[in-house]
Amino acid sequence: MNDVSAASSARPTPMMEQYLEIKTANPDSLLFYRMGDFYEMFFADAEAASRALGIALTKRGKHLGEDIPMCGVPVDRANDYLQRLIAFGFRVAVCEQTEDPKEAKKRGGKSVVRRDVVRLVTPGTLTEDALLEPRRANLLAALVRGRGASGGVRFGLAHVDVSTGAFAVTEVAADGLAPALARLEAAEVLVPDALVEELRDQLAETRAAVTPAPRELVDPARAEARLSAHFGVATTDGFGALTKPELAAAAAIVGYLERTQLASRPPLSRPVREGRGEIMEIDAATRANLELTRRLSGEREGSLLDAVDRCVTAGGSRLLGMRIAGPLLRPEAIARRHDAVAAFVEAPDLRRAVRAALASAPDLARAAQRVAFGRGGPRDLAAIRDALAAAEGLGARLAALAGAPEEVTAIAEALASADHALGRELAATLGPDLPLLKRDGGFVRAGSDAELDATRALRDESRKVIAQLQAAYADATEIRTLRIKHNNVLGYFIEAPQAHGERLLKAPHGETFVHRQTMAGAMRFTTTELGDLERRIGEAGDAALRIELDTFEQLAAHVTEGWAGLRATADALDALDVAAGLAEVAIAENHVRPHVDDSLDFRLEGARHPVVEVALRAGGKPFVPNDVDLSAPGAEGGLIQLVTGPNMGGKSTYLRQAALCAVLAQAGAFVPAASAHIGAVDRLFSRVGAADDLARGRSTFMVEMVETAAILNSAGPRSLVILDEIGRGTATFDGLSIAWATIEHLHETNRCRSLFATHFHELTALARRLERLRNATVRVAEWKGEVVFLHEVAAGVADRSYGVQVAKLAGLPASVVRRAKAVLDELEAADRASPVERIIDELPLFAAARRVAEEGPDPTVEALDAIDPDALTPREALDALYRLKNLRGQS
């Protein structure tokens, strides 16, 4: 008997058996297991969630002789906890009850309610407002390696914002993968299992959650069939000439959404192909250094995007963020954006009216997506209603604008063609005070549905309805003392005094009034009408909610049918908000329209740093503007400007503001300058500041060298390179040598436009030998032994760095400052006796760089780069090996 008891106690309960079965099917996710009004977690899930969320860990029964750890979160607050778990990097499987508990009881007293996972919540598949940043896109990306149209190794890269349905694909070379991922800043990236380790470094720079994808999910052979099935088309030819890697990446996105969203399917736009070579390439280090969309600490505040974002809608801010993250290359496309901004700069009354109207337009894209996805509520319908109302008014206003530029005309046409009939239907149906959840009811406007109004009247005014029926019966029978009453036994009944009750048993009333009970001095009756009324009163609450839910489903079906049109309207509103917002910032901050063309020119007059200027103004200080000129007319390359000057003088600000002006100009914005002429920059590189990467075993200097190597190996004549203090992280002569060789390589091999700030004053002598190198310095003045930073950049060379003076300003002890000055005097005297001038005069400069440029790339390396190992048969691999060996022997 004891053995039987022990065996019985070790056996899991039916509920725990169900939990373990579902958990086994979702091993890599926390399981939110629905039990009544709570999502419960057990075992290791409970322990992990308890630590992450700071909630109590309890116990529930035993399993295999051990206590079962348990914790839970309320269903009505689940989104709050999901947001925190996703931020910690968890995936969550949401397990709901899929049958009515009454049905489970019919199978037996110990039967467990059926449950199943209805959704996997991952960082890249969020749709709820509570889980998303309103002004930031939330992207799910997928990459697949294959062969491009040219035959070389290429990566297909697809990305989708599940919260809006926007879907795009592109193809990049291996050296362009990291910048492309950095531009997207995806929340989650799907990577083939076989590539996760190989691409570990590139993926680490994205800060995205990396999800290994099994082979069947990224199999190119299944891609076209999967995409065709999802979009309900016979062929993917209508998507454009997508390459095999692009198709495979897009199909991986679709397949992953099918796996994670299970019964639901988010509506997606057909994948739009992003043109190759149409977006400025910016690597992750440069984005971080320049703080384009976020500061190094991760906040949006203080970034370039934050400084120029005057959008009044969340969708507009998201679009502006994407434009700054991916500036354009083609001058014609850039000019169209500038034309739109200029139109609103020149029409202040229109700009103010447009911005006021946009402020009343909620987030149409995300609201429509949630409704079409089956996750929306009444407030989402109201958001669609209000956005369509704003679109209708804005379309009419823009249509009246004479001589509107191309982009504004396109926006006006899109707004005019919006589904205004749907907007009017929503306005006529929805009430003024809306609940968050449709199950709460009360969102349908009174007077829009006669049946609902009658049902609500029964629910809310049953006494009045009964009184009206009682008066009707009293009039019909001429019994003024007739009453309709209620008790828990009979329900509703008609009561009349005994003398009058006898009359009701006879014609003509006998057919209407049915006798139920005789009391001392009274008789009780019912009627078919009263019985029906009683039933309807009892069911009125449920019936009213049922009618409202049916109405919601009808409206949601209309939204789903018109989803593509709503997306187009949302895109038009976003583009309009960006144009008007950039015009607002141009007026408020005195920005000017830049001229962008295909030349190698780069001239800024009176340029300013858009972020620093705002910060200085807040502190009551002016910003000192400076000119930048990297143009070299007639030369096959741009100028290198070597900037020397004191610490705290503004060299880094000067360098950064030139880069930020290029980003703003090519993103379609005006720039903080008196005038600007920019030859389109194809690649932007920045090596500014000092930071280590201890997680990957890299010192500050190693990080500096890795980033510098990437620049020197990638930059071309159309690039813009910003370098600050190269070589300062090591010994003086080592650093000077590296900086020297770097300038030589930039001049002779890269031939790019470049700003190079340094404290190695010896490098300024290189201007005598390098025809496209110019010296500039940040001016200072000394007054009564104190240094005054003028923040002005002028042609010339600095005579010192004023580091000791800066140390004094920082508060170093006076004795340390005095000693430092004495040591500096000795070192400078020794330096003047050094043979640096002779080295510069006699060393054959850039000979090595010229030799590499003349010899060209190694054919063996080129052949190796063209091989896709995953696509080779064993025989082809052996043949490729012999070809490489022969090439190596020839070289």
Which residues contribute to the annotated binding site?
645-652
E strand or H helix at 713: helix 700-714
Three-class DSSP category at 403 = coil
Task: State both tokens at 539.
Answer: 């069911």
Q: How far apart are CA 35 and CA 30, in angstroms?
A: 15
Residues 6+ apart with CB under 8 A from 774: 639, 640, 641, 642, 767, 795
Neighbouring C-beta atoms of residue 251, cutoff 10 Å: 29
How far does the chain reach from its first CA to its final CA, in angstroms?
85
CB contact set of 237 (below 8 Å; sequence gap of 6+): none
Look up tokens 């005070």; give the residue. 433
What are the backbone dihedrals phi and psi of residue 39, each rounded to the nearest 5 degrees, phi first? -95, 120
The answer to whether residues 181 and 210 touch, using CB atoms and an 8 Å cutoff, is no
Residues 6+ apart with CB under 8 A from 133: none
Residues marked as binding for ATP?
645-652
Q: What is 715-779 written as a DSSP string? A: --TT-EEEEESTTTTS-HHHHHHHHHHHHHHIIIII--EEEEE-S-GGGGGGGGT-TTEEEEEEE
Amino acid (1-letter code) at residue 294: R
DSSP tag of 215: G
| Three-class HEC string of 246-310 | HHHHHHHHHHHHHHHHCCCCCCCCCCEECCCCCECEECHHHHHHHCCCCCCCCCCCCCHHHHHCC
The DSSP 8-state label assigned to residue 419 in this structure reads -
Helices (H) and strands (E) counted in the chain, each on its own, are: 33, 27
CA separation for the pair 844, 705 (Å, rounded): 24
Among residues 828, 792, 787, the alpha carbon closest in space to that of 806 is found at: 787
Give which of 176, 331, 334 is closest to 245, Cα–Cα.
Answer: 176
How far is Cα of residue 315 from the mean position of the Cα atoms in its chain?
11
Distance of alpha carbon 776 from alpha carbon 676, whole angstroms: 19
Which residues have a Cβ under 8 Å from the Cβ of 4 and sit 6 or more positions away? Answer: none
The string of DSSP codes covering 488-556 is TTTEEEEEEEHHHHHHHTSTTTTTTPEEEEEETTEEEEE-HHHHHHHHHHHHHHHHHHHHHHHHHHHHH
**AA letter at 502:** E
- C-alpha 202/C-alpha 143 separation (Å) is 12
Phi, psi of 74 (to 5 degrees): -65, 140
Residue pair 277/247 in contact (Cβ under 8 Å)? The answer is no
CA dihedral 587, 590, 593, 598 (to 10 degrees): -150
Give alpha helix (H) positions in 54-155. Answer: 78-87, 101-106
